[in-house]
Amino acid sequence: MEKIKQNPIIRKIGINRIVLCGVLLLMYVIFCILSDNFVGMQRIMSALNYAYFLGFLSLGVTFVIATGGIDFSIGPVMFCSALISGYCLTHYGVPLAVSLVISILVGLMFGIFNGYFVAYWTVPPFIISMASMNIAKGLASVFTKTQSVSWPQSADANGWYRNLVKVGGFPVGLVIFLVFAILCSIILNQTKAGRYILSLGSNKEAVRLSGVNVKKWEMLAYIICGILVGIAAIFFVAAYTTVQPGYGDQYNNEAIAGCVMGGTSMAGGLASISGTVIGVFIIALLQEGILALGFTKDYQLIITGIIVIVAVYADVSTRRRKN
Amino acid sequence: MGDIILTMKDIDKSFPGVHALDHVNFEVRRGEVHALMGENGAGKSTLMKVLTGIYTKDSGTITFEGKEVEFHNTREAQDAGIVIVHQELNMLGHLTVAQNIFIGREFKKGIYIDDRRMNEEAKKLFDKLHIDIDPTEIMSNLTVGKQQMCEIAKAISHDAKVIIFDEPSAALTEAEIEELFKIIRDLRKQNLGIVYISHRMDEIKVITDRVTVMRDGCYVGTLITEKCTKDDIINMMVGRVIYEDPKTESAVPKDVPIVLKVENLNAGRMVQNVSFELRKGEILGFSGLMGAGRTETARAIFGADAKTSGDIYVNGKKVEINSPQDAVKCGIGYLSEDRKRFGIVVQKSVAENSTMASLENFVKGIFINKKEEKKIAQKYVESLATKTPSTDQLVVNLSGGNQQKIVIAKWLVRDCDILIFDEPTRGIDVGAKNEIYKLMNRLAEEGKSIIMISSEMTEILRMSDRIVVMCEGKKTGEIDISEASQELIMNMATREIE
């Protein structure tokens, strides 16, 4: 085992990411064996639809968790974005392109809100994101008068946005998602912003005493998260078209689960975008598999809960061993 | 004074790399107040921790009330009748006074806590001590002085026979100290043995009967307080040979320009009206005992903590420093006494830590130029002789001395001209210490100006060109190295508080 760990190629990719890929493949095989209708592209495309929006949420929250923070508002904010922009599109005749921008702006707004209070007022992230979760839900309900919003279908005049997910049988969404993941990885690992975000997650006071404006960079992590949540909203409606106000919480846990499973430490300072991507695929495949096996969504909630506990425990125990 | 209640004989204790206690003797009689004195790191606290079971001794015997004892934790010591009143108070602010005193051994009535009985018992305790505190008061509403009295009452309630006071007066006002002394005299009358640890010479003269002095983990001697002078005690505390050739005169000419001038700096209780000047190429030592306000002064200058007033001039120009960012812009770098917490980011590499304060110089477009970053890190790894397998190594894997070098590299990469070293060699082994000293001398020769805060007298005398001495948040002296002596510095560091 030690020998395998020392192998330079394996070291470069990271042993836990290899294990995660193995888990992903294994899960697919198991689902194919247990369910008679799992083989083929249809299930995969369906799982991918789920992976897109969840992936953007998970990428976003990775930045926040890297600072040592947490954001429990991402799911509801995504719904809030989709509802407000969709309502503008369907009821006020706002052009589609503008609606998509509005969606991102709503996410950005919540990112600024969360980040400002966390960084400049030192409100605990847990508290502020719980608050903005409720604000997002309430705001969406008020704006839409508690009506669900249906975005246009593919055949409609304004339906081109659905091409973001798939054109013909080709998963365009996968390409876009991976491009964004690579962008995020570059931001996190190659830029000043990412360096400071990770560093302050590890030891904020040391970074501050190095003469760095830690408040600015901490806030930026929440802003990046907000933008990605706004994009997640677009991919949600592109896949499912209909959004209902008052929901969205369940995606918090799934996005966070994908993130911590991929090796991002809840204590901050350590984050892996590639890990997050694989983690998200596992969660998406899991939900598809559970539905295919005829179980209800509730079982998926239970399993996601367990995954979070196991992943966080693994993180905590490796860190304890290192100390 | 009565008969001997407690004897510690030939107590020996080593930690890896440090001989903390070297066959120390100590005794306490019933009805005496026995002062335990010594410089920082002389071994006073270690000795008391051995006594109360926090540390296990390597050898030696402890005899208490005629029987040899060995405690394994504070609880056992407490049960036997030896209690310690710590400098930091261990009280829960949201509980009442009585609840705090009886915490962990609450009176019960069925499944309910019997608050009324606890209040009554607490009242009895306070009466015995002639203290006027309402047992039902919430702890956080009391002043620090009153809280300390509760701590004493709690100690008494354990049926204590020996009470150890660890710098009890550090946080108290004059009036509160008076009250504390009244209580201590009372306890003495009740035939308790009292150990009193303090740096304040005047208090020692007022309240204690005997003084035992320790130095570098050794027992030096015991004096009758009445029959000795302050100078006698100081001589015993510092009478150490300085083997690492001290500087005899300043290496800095008198006419070099002043790079940093601090005027009437105030920041809370720990920094009061501090003024000084730092010349180019000079090493300015900051001496004083623990809690003298030296670190607080440095942090206020650096903008790490808010200051209430005071002016700072860099190269003759007045500057506004309200955050570390401002300070770094003025070319000031601060190396904290606590590297792990304030100096390095342990999960980041040597290279990443080296550029932490100057990352903008290594950015090309939006990307960090990692090649350039590694190059500069490698340069300082070589020039500081940092022992690390590569610049990719995470600093968590380096030793204390090498971590310190990474922090130094961070400020050198930034090209800071004024460096504040706060306890630069704390927790660093002897070999690495010498390297750090050489490095500081080299930096000074190259024209960097250094403020060195140190609690080690030898370090101060060996490195400094000039010495500022602080005591209780005030500057109490400034001496040129040619006039400096251990006695003089210690005298200034323990100046009586008016």
Q: Using the structure block, give the residue that is written with the tokens 């002389």.
A: B42
B281 and B182 in a common domain: no
More confident residue, A186 or A313: A186
B403 falls within a domain: yes
How many Cα atoms sit within 13 Å of A221 on the Cβ side? 32
Q: What is the reported pLDDT for B146? A: 84
With an 8 Å Cβ cutoff, is A97 touching chain B? no
Q: What is the reported pLDDT for A279? A: 94
Residue among B327, B347, B370 whose CB faces A202 most closely:
B347
DSSP code, position B397: G
B280 pLDDT above the threshold of 50: yes
Q: What is the reported pLDDT for B498? A: 44
Q: For a pLDDT cut of 70, what percent of chain B falls above it?
A: 96
With an 8 Å Cβ cutoff, is A263 touching chain B? no
More confident residue, A176 or B106: A176
Of the listed ranges A7-11, B177-181, B403-407, the least confidently predicted one is: A7-11
Q: Using the structure block, give the residue that is written with the tokens 């070098």.
A: B405
B219 and B262 in a common domain: no
Residues A54-58: what's their mean pLDDT? Answer: 97
Q: Kindly determine whether residue A210 and residue B348, on different chains, have CB atoms separated by under 8 Å.
A: no
Q: Kindly determine whether residue A211 and residue B336, on different chains, have CB atoms separated by under 8 Å.
A: no
Question: For B325, which residue in chain A has the nearest alpha carbon?
Answer: A211
If contacts are CB pairs under 8 Å, which of residues 63-92 in chain A contact chain B?
none
A108 pLDDT above the threshold of 50: yes
Q: What are the phi and psi torsion angles at A262 (to 5°)?
A: -75, 0
Residue among B327, B329, B348 whose CB faces A199 most closely:
B348
If contacts are CB pairs under 8 Å, which of residues 128-187 in chain A contact chain B?
186
Asked whether the CA dihedral B48, B54, B59, B62 is positive or negative, the reply is positive
Number of domains in chain B: 2
Residues B154-180: what's their mean pLDDT? Answer: 83
B252 falls within a domain: no
B212 and B262 in a common domain: no
B275 and B226 in a common domain: no
B397 falls within a domain: yes
Under DSSP, is residue B488 helix (H, G, I), strand (E, B) or coil? helix
Q: What is the reported pLDDT for B234? A: 82
C-alpha B418/C-alpha B279 separation (Å) is 10
Question: For B328, which residue in chain A has the nearest alpha carbon?
Answer: A211
Q: Kindly determine whether residue A206 and residue B334, on different chains, have CB atoms separated by under 8 Å.
A: no
8 Å CB contact between B299 and B476: no
| Domain-ending residue, one of B203, B238, B273 | B238
A14 pLDDT above the threshold of 90: no
Question: For B370, which residue in chain A has the nearest alpha carbon?
Answer: A190
Closest-CA distance of chain A to residue B367, Å: 5
Q: What is the reported pLDDT for B277? A: 95
pLDDT band at B244; cut points 50, 70, 90: low
With an 8 Å Cβ cutoff, is A318 touching chain B? no
3-state secondary structure chain A: CHHHHHCHHHHHHCHHHHHHHHHHHHHHHHHHHHCCCCCCHHHHHHHHHHHHHHHHHHHHHHHHHHCCCCCCCHHHHHHHHHHHHHHHHHHCCCCHHHHHHHHHHHHHHHHHHHHHHHHHCCCCHHHHHHHHHHHHHHHHHHHHCCCCEECCCCCCCCHHHHHHCCECCECHHHHHHHHHHHHHHHHHHHEHHHHHHHHHHHHHHHHHCCCCCHHHHHHHHHHHHHHHHHHHHHHHHHHHCEECCCCCHHHHHHHHHHHHHCCCCCCCCCCCHHHHHHHHHHHHHHHHHHHHCCCCHHHHHHHHHHHHHHHHHHHHHHHHHHC
A12 pLDDT above the threshold of 80: no
Closest-CA distance of chain B to residue A132, Å: 30
What average pLDDT is seen over chain A?
91
Residue among A190, A195, A202 whose CB faces B359 most closely:
A195
B169 falls within a domain: yes
Write the CA distances from A318 to A263, A265, A304, A315, B40, integer angstroms: 11, 10, 21, 5, 37
With an 8 Å Cβ cutoff, is A211 touching chain B? yes
Residues B77-83: what's their mean pLDDT? Answer: 90
Residues B130-138: what's their mean pLDDT? Answer: 88
8 Å CB contact between B273 and B451: no
Q: What is the reported pLDDT for A276? A: 95
Question: For A214, which residue in chain B has the nearest alpha carbon?
Answer: B325
Residue among B334, B347, B348 whose CB faces A209 most closely:
B334
DSSP B68-105: EE--SSHHHHHHHTEEEE-SS----TTSBHHHHHTTTS
C-alpha A60/C-alpha A227 separation (Å) is 8
pLDDT band at B157; cut points 50, 70, 90: confident
Q: For a pLDDT cut of 90, what percent of chain B falls above it?
A: 49
B221 falls within a domain: yes
Closest CA to A56 of A48, A68, A46: A48
Other Cβ atoms within 10 Å of B116 Cβ, number: 12
With an 8 Å Cβ cutoff, is A190 touching chain B? yes
B264 and B217 in a common domain: no
A48 pLDDT above the threshold of 60: yes
Question: For A191, which residue in chain B has the nearest alpha carbon?
Answer: B367
Query: Model confidence over B307-326: pLDDT tens digits?
Result: 999 999 999 999 999 999 99
Burial class (CB within 10 angstroms; exposed 0-12, middle 13-18, buried 19+) of B175: exposed
Of the listed ranges A244-253, B29-38, B116-125, B151-160, the least confidently predicted one is: B151-160
pLDDT band at B430; cut points 50, 70, 90: low
DSSP code, position B482: G
Q: For a pLDDT cut of 70, what percent of chain A falls above it?
A: 95
Q: Using the structure block, give the residue that is written with the tokens 């100006």.
A: B449
Question: For A208, which residue in chain B has the nearest alpha carbon?
Answer: B324
For helices B144-157 and B174-189, give the axis angle rounded to 10 degrees: 10
pLDDT band at B414; cut points 50, 70, 90: very high
Longest Cα pair distance anywhere in chain A, in angstroms? 64
pLDDT band at B119; cut points 50, 70, 90: very high
Residues B380-393: what's their mean pLDDT? Answer: 89
B134 and B75 in a common domain: yes
With an 8 Å Cβ cutoff, is A8 touching chain B? no
B265 and B223 in a common domain: no
Q: Kindly determine whether residue B325 and residue A196, on different chains, have CB atoms separated by under 8 Å.
A: no
Q: Kindly determine whether residue B324 and residue A208, on different chains, have CB atoms separated by under 8 Å.
A: yes
B232 and B283 in a common domain: no
B354 pLDDT above the threshold of 90: yes
Provide, as residue numbers in chain A, all residues whose Cβ is less than 8 Å from the Cβ of B352. 195, 199
B209 and B180 in a common domain: yes
Q: What is the reported pLDDT for A5? A: 62
Residue among A186, A190, A206 whose CB faces B343 most closely:
A206
| Domain-ending residue, one of B238, B269, B290 | B238
> For the domain that residue B30 is a member of, what is the CATH number?
3.40.50.300
With an 8 Å Cβ cutoff, is A5 touching chain B? no
User: Which one of A12, A202, A207, A210 makes the best mutation probe of the B interface by having the most chain B beta carbons within 10 Å?
Assistant: A210
B247 falls within a domain: no
3-state helix, strand, coil in chain B (%, to 5): 35, 30, 35
pLDDT band at B179; cut points 50, 70, 90: confident
Provide, as residue numbers in chain A, all residues whose Cβ is less than 8 Å from the Cβ of B336. 209
Query: Which token pair is B119?
Result: 């209040």
Q: Kindly determine whether residue A199 and residue B328, on different chains, have CB atoms separated by under 8 Å.
A: no
B130 and B226 in a common domain: yes
Residues A133-137: what's their mean pLDDT? Answer: 96
Of the listed ranges A193-202, A298-307, A309-318, B425-434, the least confidently predicted one is: B425-434
- Rg of chain B over Cα atoms, rounded to whole angstroms, equals 25
Provide, as residue numbers in chain B, all residues whose Cβ is less than 8 Å from the Cβ of A188. none
Q: What is the reported pLDDT for B426? A: 79
The amino acid that residue B477 corresponds to is: G
Q: Kindly determine whether residue A199 and residue B357, on different chains, have CB atoms separated by under 8 Å.
A: no
Closest-CA distance of chain B to residue A42, Å: 40
Write the CA distances from B350 to A180, A319, B102, integer angstroms: 30, 20, 50
Residue among B304, B348, B357 whose CB faces A202 most closely:
B348
Q: Is the ipTM of this complex over 0.90?
A: no
Query: Which token pair is B177?
Result: 């100290």
Query: Which token pair is A115?
Result: 């980040």
Q: Kindly determine whether residue A205 and residue B341, on different chains, have CB atoms separated by under 8 Å.
A: yes
Residue B452 host element (H or E)? strand B449-453
A303 pLDDT above the threshold of 60: yes
Under DSSP, is residue B260 helix (H, G, I), strand (E, B) or coil? strand
Q: Kindly determine whether residue A210 and residue B327, on different chains, have CB atoms separated by under 8 Å.
A: no
Domains and CATH numbers, chain A: 47-311 (1.10.3470)
B350 and B399 in a common domain: yes
B498 falls within a domain: no
Closest-CA distance of chain B to residue A259, Å: 19
Q: Kindly determine whether residue A209 and residue B336, on different chains, have CB atoms separated by under 8 Å.
A: yes
8 Å CB contact between B290 and B41: no
More confident residue, B28 or B233: B28
What are B138's strand-pairing partners?
A: B96
C-alpha A299/C-alpha A302 separation (Å) is 5
Provide, as residue numbers in chain B, all residues whose Cβ is less than 8 Å from the Cβ of A213. 325
B102 and B64 in a common domain: yes
Query: Which token pair is A127?
Result: 């508290």
Question: Count of A–B CB contacts within 8 Å?
Answer: 74
Domain that holds residue B142: 4-238
Q: Which of A28-37, A66-75, B361-370, B484-493 has the highest mean pLDDT?
A: A66-75
β-pairing, B309-314 vs B258-267, is antiparallel
Residues B410-434: what's their mean pLDDT? Answer: 86
Provide, as residue numbers in chain B, all residues whose Cβ is less than 8 Å from the Cβ of A192. 359-360, 363, 366, 368
Q: Kindly determine whether residue B324 and residue A209, on different chains, have CB atoms separated by under 8 Å.
A: yes
The amino acid that residue A137 corresponds to is: K
Of the listed ranges A234-248, A274-288, B225-239, the least confidently predicted one is: B225-239
Provide, as residue numbers in chain B, all residues whose Cβ is less than 8 Å from the Cβ of A322. 396
Q: Which of A214-218, A250-254, B119-123, B396-400 has the highest mean pLDDT?
A: A214-218
Q: Kindly determine whether residue B324 and residue A211, on different chains, have CB atoms separated by under 8 Å.
A: yes
pLDDT band at A37; cut points 50, 70, 90: confident
B251 falls within a domain: no
Displacement of CA A156 from its chain's centroid (Å): 29
Residues B438-463: what's their mean pLDDT? Answer: 91
B240 pLDDT above the threshold of 60: no
| Domain-ending residue, one of B193, B208, B238 | B238
What average pLDDT is seen over chain B?
88
C-alpha B460/C-alpha B289 separation (Å) is 12
